[in-house]
Structure 1
Amino acid sequence: MIRPPRFWSLQRLSVPSLLLAPVAGLYGWVAGRRMRRKPKATAAVPVICVGNYVVGGAGKTPTALALARIARAQGLNPGFLTRGYGGSAREPLLVNPDLHDAARVGDEALLLAEAGPVVVSPDRPAGLPLLERAGVDLIIMDDGFQNPSLRKDLSLIVVDGATGIGNGRVFPAGPLRAPLRTQLIRTDAVLIVGDGKPGDRIVRRAARAGKIILKAKLEPAAMQVWGPRSFLAFAGIGRPEKFFNTLDRAGVPLADVKAFPDHHAYTAEDARKLLARADAETLDLITTSKDHARLARQEGDLARLRERTRVFQVRMHFENEARIAALIAETVRRVATR
């Protein structure tokens, strides 16, 4: 995963963005045309897509987990469908955390598997039979909003309030995966995670388009007591600085931080360096659930790193959970009558 260039976040027209405009125009035309295709397949059960407008992370996986929790409270049996980004699986695969690691199915799939059946399938429709056999009556699709192959019954778009849609331009001139108008047309609801003026701007655009606006915050999953030692935090996610800031706000005593690229596949050398630094400076280690999942089913130094690293777990807290529950119930009722 590339690290976002600084000009993506600039609201004014920048030279790099201007120079990349022709390439972005072609990319946007292809991406928009693809999104306008008719779906190849329709699932027998409702499909809720949790997506985002831009490249990089925005909180899709915590949102998918929160939706599953709400769905279960309604008596539903939700399952997850994901591409398995970062994993090597090319054929549909029902995830088994006791057999599969992140190199095989991706880190998101391992986290989702803690909450229900997960099928990894780069070809989304091909994964439907496995979910059907698993007995799910609701499919939550983690990512895949721009992929037209499977019909979505509810598209919930997650937007980071601190970054919004950046400069509002299509990749590579900006962070958008496709032209915003094309994406907005296919959006049912926009979930703004956290606060910030960039998020306010997309709220105005979505509101003018008549979309449902929802708000949420990522917060610690449980109250924890920290200390007496300070921590060395490490993370290989889309915006590691966001994780580090969250630790700081939660009162975690941080001595230093170490950022890795998104979906980083940790090596034995990475583990040795982190462990050596922690030992030399008498520090404890802490990371994200995704990074910890990437260290599962490893041996040697990587196994030692996982064993010695504390996980800072977060959950998605909706400002109006009742509205989310109503959206899920409405979607289930609508699909039942089609």
Structure 2
Amino acid sequence: MTGLRALVLSPLCWWTARRTARRMARPGWRAPVPVISVDSLSGDVALPGALAVIEKLQGRGLSPVVLIGRDVAAPTGVDEQKHTYADVGGAALLAAAFAPTWVAGDLLDGARTVLSHTFAYGKSPGCIVLIGESYNPRIQSDIFIAIVDAACGFGNGLCRPAGPLPEPLEQAMARVDICLTIGRPALHEQFAAAWGQVIPEHNIRARMEVLPTGMDWRGLRVLAFSGAPAPEHFVATLRELGAEVARAVTLSAGQPVTRALITRLRNEAAMLGAQLVTTEADAVRLPGDLRREVLVLPMRLRVEDWGALDAVLDRLGMA
């Protein structure tokens, strides 16, 4: 947001801060298992960080169950073979490939359903991982992991509507147990210089890396399309792999990836002599029968050191 606009809107920040404080002051339900909330304070997608956390928990012998807020009639266990993007959303479909995943309109109802369903099968979830629901007061979290894009940081540091934050930064950091920052090494240093005084002691650095699949991208002419919050990272990665990006198309947030859109992009790619390519998050939005026509660039989060999370988990007695 531009400086002038932020300055004009800054007097309204007190309303956002007050509303958030009142909402979060409500007592939430305490689950019988640990609850880990993974979210982004500035509205960026928290999923890559959440998936890395899930794999880390599984590596410690825990059995996390994922819970994501979604406007559904009743809590629903996600089935990758049965459900579509329209049914449960892209985050839930991707998370379901890593761990049992549920979506619910009411998180409290969802959490109770998850537990009763799991216990009914003679199992016990090691923990519940809430993705993107840190400001929902219905359930108390034992650990709050904030995902931060090192390139963007916390924007101008102001809360809405003058900035990207849901509450004043100092207030938010009082609830955060761990900051997981994502970016290249130089960006981590810039982030630390700008925000190191306000982030919690526990900070985990990570970066997105291409998942090796044997695909040789060198010399491949592509038309790249993505609705990711920072599509320029996706395009830059393709170029680093040696692909020739003939055209890059940015989709607006929440824009439906319809058959008509893919047909138009396919025709444009044909005229350019290019192959369609997109991200995993965008691929799950494609009509099923068209997915085979689009290459996917899979990426995963590589964490430098999980020591900060290990320390917090040890403190809570989570094996």
1:112-123 correspondence to structure 2 within 5 Å: 112-123=95-106
> Cα 1:28–1:242, aligned 2, differ >3 Å: closer, same or farther?
farther
> 1:277 is paired with a residue of what secondary structure?
helix
Correspondence list, 1:155-166, <5 A: 155-166=144-155
The 3-state SS of whatever aligns with 1:28 is helix
Looking at structure 1, the residues matched to 106 and 194 of structure 2 have their Cα atoms a distance apart, in angstroms, of 34
- 1:314 equivalent to 2:299? Answer yes
Runs (4 or more) in structure 1 with deviation over 4 Å come to none
Q: Does 1:33 align with 2:26?
A: no
Instruction: Say if 1:166 and 1:198, in contact at 8 Å, map to a contact too.
Output: no
- Unmatched tracts of structure 1, length 5 or more: 1-5, 8-13
Taking only aligned residues, the RMSD between alpha carbons, in angstroms, comes to 2.0
Give 1:53 shift.
Answer: 1.4
Distance in 2 (CA, whole Å) between partners of 1:73 and 1:177 is: 33
Paired with 1:192 and 1:173, the residues of 2 have a C-alpha distance of 23
> Counterparts of 2:195 and 2:41 in 1: how far apart (Å)?
10
* AA aligned opposite 2:294: T
Identity score, percent: 28
Q: Is the CA contact (8 Å cut-off) linking 2:178 and 2:309 kept in structure 1? A: no
Provide the rounded CA distance (Å) in 2 between the counterparts of 1:307 and 1:33: 48
Residues 1:204 and 2:197 aligned together: yes
CA gap of 1:322–1:25, structure 2 versus 1, over 3 A, is closer
The 3-state SS of whatever aligns with 1:205 is coil
The AA in structure 2 aligned to 1:77 is S
Name the counterpart of 1:235: 226
Contact 2:148 2:181 in 1 (8 A): yes
Q: Which residue of structure 1 aligns with residue 269 of structure 2?
A: 278
Does the aligned pair in 1 maintain the 2:246–2:272 contact within 8 Å? no
Cα separation, 2, equivalents of 1:185 and 1:123: 26
AA partner of residue 222 (structure 1): P
Report the Cα offset of residue 203 of structure 1: 2.6
Q: Retained in 1: the 8 A contact 2:218–2:241?
A: no
Aligned to 1:10: none
The farther-off stretch of 125-134 and 74-83 is 125-134
Change (3 A) 1:91 1:203: farther
Write the mapping of 1:69-218 to structure 2, written as runs, cut at 5 A. Answer: 69-84=55-70, 88-132=71-115, 133-134=117-118, 135=123, 136-195=125-184, 196=187, 197-198=190-191, 200-207=193-200, 211-218=201-208
Q: Give the match for residue 327 of structure 1.
A: 312
| C-alpha distance in 2 between matches for 1:243 and 1:143 | 22
- Structure 1 position 246, deviation (Å): 2.6
Q: Please give the TM-score of this superposition, normalised by the length of structure 2.
A: 0.90
Structure-1 separation of matches of 2:299 and 2:107: 28
How far off its partner does 1:322 sit? 4.3
Partner of 2:50: 64
In the other structure, the counterpart of 1:292 is 283
CA deviation profile, 1:132-162 (whole Å, cap 9, x unmatched): 2234221111111122211111111111000
Corresponding position of 2:36: 48
State the distance in 2 between where 1:35 and 1:241 align.
35
Cα distance, 1:129 vs structure 2: 2.9
Distance of aligned partners of 1:113 and 1:180 in 2 relative to their CA distance in 1, 3 Å threshold: same
Equivalent position SS for 1:217: strand
CA distance in 2, matches of 1:37, 1:157: 21
Q: Distance in 2 between matches of 1:121 and 1:332?
A: 28
CA drift at 1:199: 5.4
For residue 51 of structure 1, give the secondary structure of its aligned residue in structure 2. Answer: strand
**Match of 1:204, SS?**
coil
CA distance in 2, matches of 1:286, 1:226: 11
Tell me the residue number matched to 1:3.
none
Deviation at 1:268?
Answer: 2.3
Secondary structure in 1 matching 2:198: helix
TM-score where L is the length of structure 1: 0.85
Q: Judge conservation of contact 2:5–2:162 (CA < 8 Å) in 1.
A: yes
How many residues of Structure 1 are paired with residues of Structure 2 in the alignment?
308
Segments of structure 2 that go 5 or more residues without pairing to the other structure are none
What's the offset of the Cα at 1:63?
Answer: 1.6
CA distance in 2, matches of 1:23, 1:90: 35
Note closer, same or farther for the CA distance 1:221–1:128 as it changes in structure 2 (3 Å cut): same
